[in-house]
């Protein structure tokens, strides 16, 4: 009786790394990785040799040396006796400030303009179209310089605010708009101010939770609860009540004219305002087109069905159209946020001291550490871009259509 056995399996051959589809992709990836490592090794070796030829080394010790230069806009304490590392942190804070303000303002402008571009009012839609085309087709740097020039040349000097002068302060003598910037009251945090801040944050969270509850009731039962005024009441009334209960823990320091300039308060320099406004208007024009495309991607039947159910146009837009359009809007919106953050490096054109001007400008010129400075600058922009992308991707995933 004969025994049937499986035929012997062929052994592994080197030619399979190229001709066998099971191994070919792995081979290509391995070769590409090796070539990439060799390329980076060559670049690093070549850089080290060139630095040695110039009598330089690769060292970040310059960050602890004295900076010796002033910064005109600061969110954290700094003077010229502090280190280059501290100056870099001040620049980073300034960059994050204008990026945050720009992203928030550009989003508000973009959503508003994107909706108004679809208005049935011909004048409104045409005006919005002119704004979009004007800002999208003119370089951002020109808008920054133009707005800065308007703020500098068309506003009064501080001496014009003297008694009998041609200018006067606004909002009960609390805000002064000058060619050196805008002076606003500075909050003075007294005892129990931390409790007031906690109450304010809790009120904001409560307003958000109420809006979510009202939407859930609407979707589950069809019962329409008011959203705007209850949310505003929840956000504002507890804070106002605790402000008086705690004995007014926060006071204001008003700017007053002293000498050749205003003293006290907070000075928002024209460089910051020009950069903020230009970035917001420029990026808002692109966001407006993204919002318009997202709204048009939603079927008109959704709008008609909402009107048939008795929903007003604003309710239809907030509850029906925009939630469905977000899945189209958010991905390109992330790119606009990243572009705005990186475009803030144009601040050097108007003298705003961001990280490009401190770490990537004066520090490099003083220390001669151009390689280390540019490497740190690139790592900062890479890190902040990855953080923005990660946060927006989390929000994007929460707005995806969920199948039953």
The per-residue pLDDT for 404 is: 54
Buried b (16+ CB within 10 A) or exposed e, 275-297: bbbbbbbbbbbbbbbbbbebbee
pLDDT of residue 305: 85
Share of the chain above pLDDT 70, in %: 94
**pLDDT value of residue 403:** 57
Q: To the nearest whole number, what is the mean pLDDT of the chain?
A: 87
3-state class (DSSP) for residue 181: strand
- Cβ distance 251 to 285 under 8 Å? no
* 9 pLDDT above the threshold of 70: no
- What is the spatial distance between Cα 395 and Cα 386, in angstroms, rounded to a whole number? 14
Alpha-carbon distances of 290 from 130, 293, 295, rounded to whole Å = 16, 5, 9
**pLDDT at residue 335 above 90?**
yes
pLDDT at 126: 94
Q: What pLDDT is stored for residue 5 in this prediction?
A: 61
Q: Write down the domain spans for the chain.
A: 84-159+271-398
How far is residue 225's CA from residue 136's CA, in Å, rounded to a whole number? 40
Residue 382 has which token pair? Answer: 């890479």
- The yes-or-no verdict on residue 150 having pLDDT over 70 is yes
Q: What would the two tokens of residue 401 be?
A: 């259509």
Summarize pLDDT for 280-303 with one digit per residue, the tens.
999 999 999 999 999 898 888 888
Q: What's the average model confidence in pLDDT over 337-363?
A: 92
What 400-403 contacts at long range (C-beta under 8 Å, 24+ apart), as own/partner pairs, is 400/327, 401/327
Cα angle 247-249-254, degrees, rounded to a multiple of 5: 120
For the segment 36-46, the average pLDDT, to the nearest whole number, is 88
Nearest partner of 363 among 31, 64, 14, 21, judged by Cα: 64
Rounded average pLDDT over 214-240: 85
Instruction: Give the pair of three-digit tokens for residue 330.
Output: 């958010």
- Residue 73 CB partners (closer than 8 Å, separation 6+): 94, 269, 271, 272, 352, 353
Is pLDDT of 54 > 80?
A: no
Mean pLDDT in residue range 78-93: 92
- What are the backbone dihedrals phi and psi of residue 175, each rounded to the nearest 5 degrees, phi first? -130, 130
The pLDDT, as a whole number, for residue 283 is: 96
Predicted pLDDT of residue 142: 95
- CA–CA distance, 372 with 364 (Å, rounded to integer): 9
Q: Per-residue confidence at 88, pLDDT binned at 50, 70, 90?
A: very high
pLDDT in tens, 151-171: 998 888 888 888 777 778 888
Judged against a pLDDT cut of 80, whether residue 214 lies above it is answered with yes
Q: What mean pLDDT do residues 94-113 have?
A: 95
Q: Quick count: other Cβ atoms within 10 Å of Cβ 273?
A: 20
DSSP 253-309: E--EEETTEEESSEEE-HHHHHHHHHHHHHHHHHHHHHHHHHHHTS-HHHHHHHHHT
Helix 122-136 to helix 84-116 angle, to the nearest 10 degrees?
A: 150
Confidence of residue 3 (pLDDT cuts 50, 70, 90): low
Task: State yes or no: pLDDT of 1 exceeds 60.
Answer: no
For residue 311, pLDDT beyond 70 = yes
Per-residue pLDDT at 114 exceeds 60: yes
Asked if residue 40 has pLDDT above 90, the reply is: no
Chosen CATH of 84-159+271-398 out of 1.10.3720.10, 1.10.10.10, 3.90.1150.10, 1.20.1440.230: 1.10.3720.10
Side-chain half-sphere CA neighbours of 114 within 13 A: 27
| Per-residue pLDDT at 293 | 92
């Amino acid at each position: 009786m004969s025994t049937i056995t499986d035929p012997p399996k062929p052994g592994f051959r080197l030619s399979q790394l190229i001709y066998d589809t099971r191994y070919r992709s792995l081979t290509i990836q391995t070769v590409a990785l090796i070539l990439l490592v060799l390329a980076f090794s060559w670049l690093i070796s070549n850089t080290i040799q060139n630095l040695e030829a110039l009598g330089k080394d690769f060292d970040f010790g310059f960050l602890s040396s004295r900076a010796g230069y002033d910064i005109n806009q600061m969110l954290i304490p700094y003077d010229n006796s502090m280190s280059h590392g501290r100056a870099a942190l001040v620049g980073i804070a300034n960059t994050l400030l204008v990026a945050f303000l720009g992203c928030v303002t550009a989003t508000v402008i973009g959503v508003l303009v994107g909706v108004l571009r679809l208005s049935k009012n011909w004048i409104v839609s045409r005006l919005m179209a002119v704004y979009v085309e004007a800002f999208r087709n003119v370089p951002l740097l020109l808008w920054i310089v133009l707005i800065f020039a308007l703020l500098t040349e068309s506003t009064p000097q501080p001496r014009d605010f003297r008694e009998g002068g041609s200018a006067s302060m606004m909002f009960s003598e609390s805000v002064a708009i000058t060619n050196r910037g805008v002076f606003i009251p500075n909050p003075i945090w007294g005892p129990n101010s931390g409790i007031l801040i906690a109450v304010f944050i809790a009120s904001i969270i409560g307003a958000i939770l109420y809006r979510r509850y009202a939407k859930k009731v609407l979707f589950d039962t069809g019962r329409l609860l008011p959203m705007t005024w209850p949310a505003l009441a929840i956000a504002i009334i507890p804070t106002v009540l605790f402000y008086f209960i705690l004995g007014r823990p926060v006071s204001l320091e008003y700017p007053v004219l002293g000498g050749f300039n205003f003293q006290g308060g907070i000075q928002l320099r024209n460089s910051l305002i020009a950069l903020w406004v230009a970035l917001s208007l420029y990026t808002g024009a692109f966001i407006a087109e993204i919002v318009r495309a997202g709204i048009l991607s939603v079927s008109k039947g959704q709008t008609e069905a909402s009107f048939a159910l008795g929903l007003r146009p604003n309710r239809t837009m907030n509850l029906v159209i925009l939630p469905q359009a977000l899945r189209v809007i958010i991905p390109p919106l992330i790119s606009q946020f990243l572009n705005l953050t990186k475009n803030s490096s144009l601040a050097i054109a108007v003298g705003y001291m961001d990280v490009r001007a401190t770490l990537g400008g004066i520090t490099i010129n003083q220390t001669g550490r151009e390689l280390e400075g540019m490497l740190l600058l690139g790592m900062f922009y890479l890190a902040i871009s990855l953080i923005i992308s990660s946060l927006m991707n989390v929000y994007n995933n929460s707005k995806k259509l969920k199948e039953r």
